[in-house]
Amino acid sequence: MISYIIRRLLLLVFVLFGVVTLVFFLIHFIPGDPVDIMLGDYALPADKQELRSVMGLDRPLLIQYKDYVSGVLTGDLGTSIHSKRTVLEEILERLPASAELMVGAMTIALLIAFPFGILAALKPYGLLDSASMFASFLGVAMPNFWLGPLLIIFFSIKLDWLPINERGGLENLILPSITLGTAMAAMLSRMIRSSLLEVLGEEYIRNARAKGLAERKVILKHALRNALIPVITIIGLQIGVLLSGAIITEAIFDWPGLGSLLLEGIYNRNYPLVQGCILVIATIYVVVNLITDITYAWVDPRVRLS
């Protein structure tokens, strides 16, 4: 197991290197120039040219790439073009908010998906199954820029229980987490249902019953553990969806997360910031997937960690 983890961590470096390279050339490849966008119509071209050279933007791309990568290796992600603050500082300012929102959304998703998924599987095609199926399709088909305002109108304006926007205490976290988490909850509950239905048809479940175990134990200990296997991969995948889905949720709730910082960076062609954000998001993503693979092997002994 340990050697597997070490090998995967080495590969992680390769993956991140791949991501950084892909991002670097792609963002520079997109038309639109950061100095233009920054200075807008104010500065004279001579000044803009000067600003570009001082920032080293006029150097050949490969040199800029080499400097950037060597900078990253020493932990220097460069300075943000506009605000003159270091990229690391801007990212670290936003990281806790993103982490909090992702944990919140994930918790909501799991709290909804597991009970709904399990109950739907226990009585397939029953009333509860169709209700949970209907609710989950609603969850998937409802975009978060629609769900957000609806939740605000109901919970903040009409009932005045929760604040409208901004990050703060636990109560600020509830609405954004529901908005971001529902699509994932819908997806997960259907996945858990279908995977659990399959497992319930297996012989070892009938054997567990033959052993005289209580139905609750048969489901939770025997069936669920086997049904978890494909679900874990889905959870790993969903982290990516959460990160990108967060952009719109962050916009609606003014949640100071990485998603909106990345979007601003892209719009302003703030190269160092975009590269820094994507590097951090990629790291989170790859580490989470490493954890999913390890839990995968921990849950399913048949899978040897080659």
Partner 1 sequence: MSRSKAMLRTSIFTILLTLLFLLLQGAHAGEKNLLVGIEDPPKTMDPRFSTDATGMRISHHLLFSTLVQHGQDLQIIPNLAKSWKTPDNKTYIFHLHDQVRFHDGRPLTAEDVKFTFEHLKNPQTKSPFAGTYKVIKSIRVIDPYSIEFKLEKTVASFLTSIIMPIVPKHVIEAGGPFHNQLIGSGPFIFDDQSPNEIILKKNPDYFMGAPSLDRITFKIIKDDNTRFLKMRKGELDLVINAIPLNKVDDFKKSPLKKRYTVMEDAGLSYNYISFNMKKPELQDIKLRKAIAYGINVEEIIKYRLEGHAVPSYSLLSPVNWFSEKNVTRYDYQPETASRLMDEAGLPKTGSNSKQPRITLELKTSNNAEVIGIARIIQAQLAKIGIRIEIKSYEWGTFYGDIKSGNFQLTTMRWVGVTEPDFYFNIFNSGQFPPAGRNRGLYKNEQIDRLTEEGRNILDADRRKTIYAKIQKIVADDLPYISLWHTSNISIVHKRVSGYQQHPMGGYLSFRNIDINP
Partner 2 sequence: MFRNKWTYAGLIIILFFIVTALTAPWIAPEDPYEINLVLQLAPPDADHIMGRDNNGSDILSRLLYGARISLVVGLSVVTISGIIGILLGLVSGYYGGWVDLILMRIVDILLAFPGLLLAIALVAVLGPSLTNVVIALIALGWVPFARLVRGQVISVKERNYILAARTSGQSDLRVMIIHILPNIISVVIVQATFNLAGVIISESSLSFLGLGAPPGTPSWGAMLSEGKQVILDAPHVSIFPGLAIMLVVLAFNFVGDGLRDKLDPKTDRK
Partner 3 sequence: MNLNRSPLLQVIDLNVDFKSEGKTTAILKEISFVLEKGETLGIVGESGSGKTITVQSILNLIPTPPLSGISGKILFKDTDLLNCSQTQLRSIRGKEIAYIFQEPMTALNPVLSIGDQIMEMIRTHESTGRKSAFQKAVSLLEEVGIPSPEQRMKNFPHELSGGMRQRAMIAMALSCNPEILLADEPTTALDVTIQAQVLELFKELKQTRGTSIIFVTHDLGVIAEIADKLMVLRQGMIIEEGPLDQIFKSPQQEYTRELISLLGGE
CA-CA distance, 143 to 123, in Å (whole number)?
29
Binding mask 205-244 for partner 3 (x = CB under 8 A): -xxxxxxxxx-------x--xx------------------
Q: Which does 162 bind (CB under 5 to 8 A by kind): partner 3, partner 2, partner 1, none?
A: none
CA distances to 193, 218, 241, 245, 270 from 182, in Å: 16, 29, 12, 11, 32
| 189 in contact with partner 2 (CB under 8 A) | no
Q: What does the angle CA 239 – CA 250 – CA 270 come to, to the nearest 5 degrees?
A: 90
Minimal distance, residue 196 CB to partner 3, in Å: 14
Each residue 51-70 as x (binds partner 1 by CB under 8 A) or -, in order, gives x--xx---------------
The amino acid sitting at 138 is L
Tokens representing 122 are 């226990």
Q: Is 196 in the site for partner 2 (CB under 8 A)?
A: no
Residue closest to 106 by CA, chosen among 226, 224, 187:
187
Kindly write down the DSSP assignment for every residue of 99-149, as one continuous string: HHHHHHHHHHHHHHHHHHHHHHHHSTTSHHHHHHHHHHHHHHHS-HHHHHH
Give the residue, chosen from 70, 107, 130, 207, that forms a contact with partner 1 under the rule CB under 8 A. Answer: 107
Nearest alpha-carbon partner for 121 in 135, 133, 110: 133
By beta-carbon proximity to partner 2, the closer residue of 119 and 237 is 237
Using the rule CB under 8 A, is 149 a contact of partner 1? yes
Name the minimum Å distance from CB 211 to partner 2: 22
Q: What is the largest CA-CA distance in the chain?
A: 85
Q: Is 79 in the site for partner 1 (CB under 8 A)?
A: no
Residues 130-169 that bind partner 2 (CB under 8 A): 130, 133-134, 137-138, 140-143, 145-146, 149, 153
Q: Assess 38 for contact with partner 1 (CB under 8 A).
A: yes
Q: Cβ–Cβ contacts within 10 Å for residue 142, how many?
A: 15
Task: Check: CB of residue 252 under 8 Å from CB of residue 145.
Answer: yes
Secondary structure of residue 79 in the 3-state scheme: strand
Can you tell me whether residue 86 is helix, strand or coil? strand
Q: Is 266 in the site for partner 2 (CB under 8 A)?
A: yes
How crowded is the C-beta side of 300, counted as CA atoms within 13 Å?
Answer: 17
Q: How far is CA 269 from the centre of its chain?
A: 22
Out of 56, 61, 93, 204, point to the residue binding partner 1 (CB under 8 A): 93
Give residues in contact with partner 1 (CB under 8 A).
30-33, 36-47, 50-51, 54-55, 82-85, 93-94, 96-97, 100, 103-104, 107, 110, 148-149, 152-153, 156-157, 160, 164-170, 173, 251-254, 256, 260-261, 266-269
Give residues in contact with partner 2 (CB under 8 A).
11, 14-15, 18-19, 22-23, 26-27, 29-32, 125, 130, 133-134, 137-138, 140-143, 145-146, 149, 153, 183, 186-187, 190-191, 194-195, 198, 201, 229-230, 233-234, 236-237, 240-241, 243-244, 247-248, 262-263, 266, 274, 278, 281-282, 285-286, 289, 296, 300, 302-303, 306
Give residues in contact with partner 3 (CB under 8 A).
202-204, 206-214, 222, 225-226, 299-302
